[in-house]
Structure 1
Amino acid sequence: MDIIQIVVLGIVASILYIVLKDLNTSFAFFLILITGIIIFLAIIQQIGAVFQLLETLGEKANIDGMYMETILKIIGIAYIAELGANLTKDAGLGSVAAKIELAGKIFIILLAIPIITAVIEAIVNFLPTN
């Protein structure tokens, strides 16, 4: 599925949502949920290709595999949290969306701790000792 098809699907689903939200709110939300899943499944192959490219670049740059894996996990968490938050916002549940975003941020911080530690250790090693 190319970008034109994805955009058309999104526009059609949006128009149907606008028409259906007053008639049947549950069905309208279900339509948006299914549309989001279809779009996600359509782009999952491209996401895999991007991850593969980043891993290859990391290997060529002699970056520790742990760091590349952590960065890819962080990117994945950010996108998944955003998707979940947007779906819950579409359902009118802004407070739940905020909690999903907070959880995503906390998981990102937890994954980033080893990278932050390595950066701080590298900076400390460059500082002259008196």
Structure 2
Amino acid sequence: MEIIQVVGLGLIATVLILVVKEQKPLFAFLLAVATSVLIFLFLIGKIGNVISMLEDLAENSGVQIIYLKTVLKIIGIAYIAEMGAQIVRDAGQESIASKIELAGKVLILVLAVPIIGIIIETVLKLLPA
């Protein structure tokens, strides 16, 4: 029931932010950022377990580990870009948040190109000549 802890932390932080926001908006924003970081740190252990299991599965199935690592980097970029964009949106900077999301998408595309190339090569090998 770890989700209850995360939701509880989020609700407590939200109430504190709403109370503090009137007097000290900067402090309220810092509280929001700190809460986001705490939630992320809470999840890092869980993410580590998932990555370890996926690496074991890839090794046992004969999939090259480089492909798994690339996919995991892509997922990491997506999560980090989303979290960063949301924090920046909380500060009221929609245009910067959009640029963070764009950067995340471009970096994902850059990492995905080699995998796409391998998929195309594999499909071409399967097609009759």
TM-score range (shorter-chain normalised) is over 0.9
Instruction: Give 2:49's aligned residue.
Output: 49
| 1:70-126 Cα deviation digits (max 9, x unpaired) | 001111111111110110011111111110110001000000111000000011111
Q: How does 1:5-84 map to 2 (within 5 A)?
A: 5-84=5-84
Residue identity (%):
50
Of the structure 1 ranges 17-26 and 45-54, higher mean CA displacement relative to structure 2 is found in 17-26
Q: In the comparison of the two structures, how many residue pairs are matched?
A: 129
Question: Could you tell me how far 1:2 is from its partner in structure 2?
Answer: 2.5
| 1:2-23 Cα deviation digits (max 9, x unpaired) | 2222111100101111222222
1:43 maps to a residue whose letter is: L
**How high is the TM-score relative to the length of structure 2?**
0.95
Instruction: Give 2:111's aligned residue.
Output: 111
Instruction: Give 1:91's aligned residue.
Output: 91
| 1:21-54 Cα deviation digits (max 9, x unpaired) | 2221101000000111111111111110011111
Instruction: Give 1:102's aligned residue.
Output: 102
The SS at the match of 1:85 is helix
| Structure 1 unmatched ranges of 5 or more | none
**How high is the TM-score relative to the length of structure 1?**
0.94
The SS at the match of 2:63 is coil
Structure 1 stretches of at least 4 aligned residues deviating more than 6 Å after TM superposition: none
| Structure 2 unmatched ranges of 5 or more | none
Paired with 1:52 and 1:42, the residues of 2 have a C-alpha distance of 17
The SS at the match of 2:62 is coil
Q: CA RMSD in A?
A: 1.2
